[in-house]
A and B are shown apart, each in its own frame.
Chain A
Amino acid sequence: MTIENNVLVKLTEVGLKQRNKWLVKGVSLIVERGKIVTLIGPNGSGKSTTAKIAIGLHKNIEGNVEKFTDKIGYVPQKISIDWTLPLKVNDFMVLTDELDEEKINEALKLTGADHLKNQNLGNLSGGEFQRVLLARAVSKKPDLLVLDEPVQGVDFTGEIALYKLIKEIADKLNCGILLISHDLHTVMTATDHVICLNGHVCCSGTPRDVAMNNEYKLLFGEQASQTLSIYEHKHDHVHSNDGDIKKN
């Protein structure tokens, strides 16, 4: 398969029905090289399902999935490592692919987890584990990164730093990223395109477009979009000395 027009994965009107219930329906999206696409939506809105469809984890789907790469790095939402498996971070890094020492170190350093290299996976905290997961996903220099809530369990300052890092990774590796988050205003600095899901695509566009969208407000409440306005406050106008507000 060749990569045409920088498109890495293209979903056309995909849907998945399980036990007579549509988990998602009629979702279309495109992830391109160097772009970050974010899926947001409430619990059970089909974010993870859509991501799994994109990487081919669900069979029997409706619609069409075109994948133009096999080099995929995946950070799943829920992953628990059994204590019966003695696994060090170092072993975990080479789980699906051979990597030399240098690449392992580089990836761990990138996500700020290099000091954990010889730790047992079972001894890591939630946030540390998340960093290791991210390091593992980027270590093979994938074309497409699929990150399902990659910052869960990470403290607030770490969260912002990690999103910044994700943005850097996208630039550095020139890969496409499909990101899942439940929180629009923390991801908005690091995303090019937002798709708001609620079983179907409820709205999509730039982060600002989505925040101002009426359906988004209905889904998340007026509050959410106001938080966002406050967040964006300093970007769209300036305060002059006499207290006047000038729009940019």
Chain B
Amino acid sequence: MFDDFFIRALIAGIGVAFVTGPLGCFVVWRRLSYFGDTLAHSALLGVTMALALEINIAISIFIISSVIAIILVKLEKNTNLPGDALLGLLAHSALAVGLVVIGFLSFIRFDVMGLLFGDILAVNVDDLIIIWGGGAIILIVLKIIWKPLFASTVNYELAEAEGLDPDRAKAIFTILMAAIIAISIKIVGLLLITGMLIIPTAMARNISDTPKKMVIFSICGGLLSVIMGLFSSLQFNTPSGPSIIAAALLLFVISLFKIKQTIQLKN
């Protein structure tokens, strides 16, 4: 059944949605959407490195994103610039340098659009293994660091005072962010990854009253977006990555009506 490109795309998208759901919750709770964006932009550099050195794209992106994350932490400590300025600096520098390097690699045929907006219909079996294998590892690690990460998201000092290790949890979470970007770049592309992390989660926030529910609804929202997006891209011949994100947006808009209802019920 893996012979059909559409089935492969569906399986890949579903795999990614399972991981972006819970990670997206932390991105929203910890206000890291810009951080996710910066890592995603730096992925372009990772892709060029992979092409130049002929190594696996996902691994290369993972390495570059991790390096950018480390640089960010160092800069935050050693400069007086605010966090968002540093994020912008790194995001656009990485994007620019990546594009410049592509210019030098003129001997390689290169699909920039696929990189920016995803190329889910070109997913092969190797990609599926990376997505599901990598995704499983990300979820297992997230499960292990859940308590300290969640507690420090609510209150850093409380978590540290009561014997948890928030700094370690944060460092590991940063690596997980680099990993999710590495495995999902082929699905929605580097410009839309943050959307995949945030929009289903934002929808989930509108309809949940506990963290657990929010994670579950966020996964469901991601799954629905992938399925709706892919089928509609088949139906209307639209680009698949943007279709997935547009489907997520549609779900978000629907969830707004639910809020309105609950407010009315309260009154």
CB atoms of A55 and B161 under 8 A apart: yes
Which of the segments B15-23, B46-54, B207-215, B249-257 contacts the partner chain? B207-215
Say what secondary structure dominates the interface of chain B. Answer: helix
Q: Max chain A CB contacts within 10 Å: which of B157, B164, B208, B211?
A: B157
CB nearest neighbor in B for A118: B209
CB atoms of B163 and A72 under 8 A apart: yes
In the complex, A182 Cα to B210 Cα: how many Å? 36
A42 located at the interface, meaning its Cβ lies under 8 Å from any Cβ of chain B in the complex: no
- Count of chain A residues near B, Cβ 8 A: 25
B159 located at the interface, meaning its Cβ lies under 8 Å from any Cβ of chain A in the complex: yes
CB atoms of B157 and A74 under 8 A apart: yes
CB atoms of A95 and B213 under 8 A apart: no
B124 located at the interface, meaning its Cβ lies under 8 Å from any Cβ of chain A in the complex: no
Q: What does the 1/0 interface line of A54-68 toward B look like (CB < 8 Å)? A: 011100000000000
Q: What residues of A have a CB within 8 angstroms of the CB of B158 in the complex?
A: 74, 76, 79, 95-96
For A74, give its contact among B161, B210, B213 (CB under 8 Å): B161
Q: Max chain B CB contacts within 10 Å: which of A70, A72, A91, A140?
A: A91
B150 located at the interface, meaning its Cβ lies under 8 Å from any Cβ of chain A in the complex: yes
Q: What residues of A have a CB within 8 angstroms of the CB of B150 in the complex?
A: 95
Say what secondary structure dominates the interface of chain A. Answer: loop
Contacts A85-B211, A86-B211; A96 near B164 (Cβ below 8 A):
yes
Contacts A81-B154, A95-B151; A88 near B210 (Cβ below 8 A):
yes
Q: What residues of B have a CB within 8 angstroms of the CB of A217 in the complex?
A: none
A73 located at the interface, meaning its Cβ lies under 8 Å from any Cβ of chain B in the complex: yes
For A96, give its contact among B151, B205, B213, B214 (CB under 8 Å): B151
Q: What residues of B have a CB within 8 angstroms of the CB of A79 in the complex?
A: 155, 158
In the complex, A140 Cα to B147 Cα: how many Å? 16
Contacts A82-B29, A86-B214, A96-B147; A52 near B157 (Cβ below 8 A):
yes
In the complex, A8 Cα to B136 Cα: how many Å? 43
CB atoms of A86 and B205 under 8 A apart: yes
B191 located at the interface, meaning its Cβ lies under 8 Å from any Cβ of chain A in the complex: no
Q: Max chain B CB contacts within 10 Å: which of A72, A76, A96?
A: A96
B126 located at the interface, meaning its Cβ lies under 8 Å from any Cβ of chain A in the complex: no
CB distance from A9 to the nearest CB of B (A): 12
How many A-B pairs fall under 8 Å by CB?
A: 65
B162 located at the interface, meaning its Cβ lies under 8 Å from any Cβ of chain A in the complex: yes
Contacts A81-B154, A92-B154; A120 near B209 (Cβ below 8 A):
yes
CB nearest neighbor in A for B163: A70
Q: What residues of B have a CB within 8 angstroms of the CB of A87 in the complex?
A: 154, 210-211
B160 located at the interface, meaning its Cβ lies under 8 Å from any Cβ of chain A in the complex: yes
In the complex, A55 Cα to B162 Cα: how many Å? 9
A97 located at the interface, meaning its Cβ lies under 8 Å from any Cβ of chain B in the complex: yes
A201 located at the interface, meaning its Cβ lies under 8 Å from any Cβ of chain B in the complex: no
In the complex, A133 Cα to B150 Cα: how many Å? 17
B153 located at the interface, meaning its Cβ lies under 8 Å from any Cβ of chain A in the complex: yes
CB atoms of B29 and A85 under 8 A apart: yes
In the complex, A73 Cα to B157 Cα: how many Å? 12
A146 located at the interface, meaning its Cβ lies under 8 Å from any Cβ of chain B in the complex: yes
A2 located at the interface, meaning its Cβ lies under 8 Å from any Cβ of chain B in the complex: no
CB nearest neighbor in B for A85: B29
Q: What residues of B have a CB within 8 angstroms of the CB of A88 in the complex?
A: 209-210
A125 located at the interface, meaning its Cβ lies under 8 Å from any Cβ of chain B in the complex: no
Known: A52-B157, A85-B154, A88-B210; 20 extra A-B contacts, CB below 8 A, are A55-B161, A56-B161, A57-B161, A74-B162, A79-B155, A81-B155, A84-B28, A84-B29, A86-B205, A86-B211, A86-B213, A87-B154, A87-B211, A88-B209, A91-B210, A95-B151, A96-B158, A96-B162, A96-B163, A146-B161
Counting from the closest, the 5 A-B pairs by CB-CB distance are: A74-B161, A96-B162, A55-B161, A95-B151, A86-B209
Which residues of A line the B interface, CB within 8 A?
Answer: 52, 55-57, 70, 72-74, 76, 79, 81-82, 84-88, 91-92, 95-97, 120, 140, 146
A-B contact pairs, 26 of them (CB 8 A): A52-B157, A52-B161, A56-B160, A56-B161, A57-B157, A72-B161, A72-B162, A72-B163, A73-B162, A74-B157, A74-B158, A76-B155, A79-B155, A81-B154, A84-B28, A84-B29, A86-B205, A86-B208, A86-B210, A87-B210, A91-B210, A92-B154, A95-B150, A95-B158, A96-B164, A120-B209
